[in-house]
């Protein structure tokens, strides 16, 4: 249907009816467009929120894992320090530990020599 008005239709009933129909269609289209744009904006914002939540959850899990690793490492260091403190406080333990370390060092040297000999052969 042609909604364009001619000069003759300006003041006739037929012209006014055409104008009213055209105005209604225009309003319906503009309302539909604005509603659609509002929905698109809503969905866009919702998707952005969901993506941010997923990213934040991933970072939170990663941060928790790093924190747990650090806690475990600190606990190991504390245990080792306590062991060292116990050894240093008891002269007999200190001597035993020193002897054990010397023996390990000798074993290491022997194994290193054997490996060197095998590599040379």
Its pTM stands at: 0.42
For residue 109, being part of any structural domain is answered with yes
For residue 111, being part of any structural domain is answered with yes
Range of the domain at 109: 92-121
For residue 25, being part of any structural domain is answered with no
For residue 119, being part of any structural domain is answered with yes
Q: Quote the number of domains for the chain.
A: 1
Express each pLDDT in 37-94 by its tens digit. Answer: 999 999 999 999 999 999 999 888 888 888 898 999 999 999 888 888 777 777 787 7
Does residue 46 or residue 14 have the better pLDDT?
46
* pLDDT value at 10 more than 70: no
Let me know if 15 is exposed, middle or buried by CB neighbors in 10 A (0-12, 13-18, 19+): middle
Dihedral, 45, 47, 50, 51 alpha carbons, nearest 10: -110
């Amino acid at each position: 249907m042609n909604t364009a008005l001619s000069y003759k239709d300006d003041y006739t009933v037929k012209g006014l009816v055409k104008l009213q129909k055209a105005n209604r269609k225009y309003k319906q289209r503009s309302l539909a467009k604005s509603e659609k744009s509002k929905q698109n904006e809503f969905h866009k914002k919702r998707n952005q929120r969901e993506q941010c939540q997923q990213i934040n959850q991933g970072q939170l899990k990663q941060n928790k894992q790093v924190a747990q690793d650090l806690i475990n490492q600190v606990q190991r260091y504390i245990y080792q320090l306590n062991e060292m403190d116990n050894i240093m406080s008891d002269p007999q333990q200190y001597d035993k530990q020193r002897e054990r370390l010397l023996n390990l060092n000798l074993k290491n040297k022997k194994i290193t020599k054997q490996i060197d000999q095998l590599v040379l052969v």
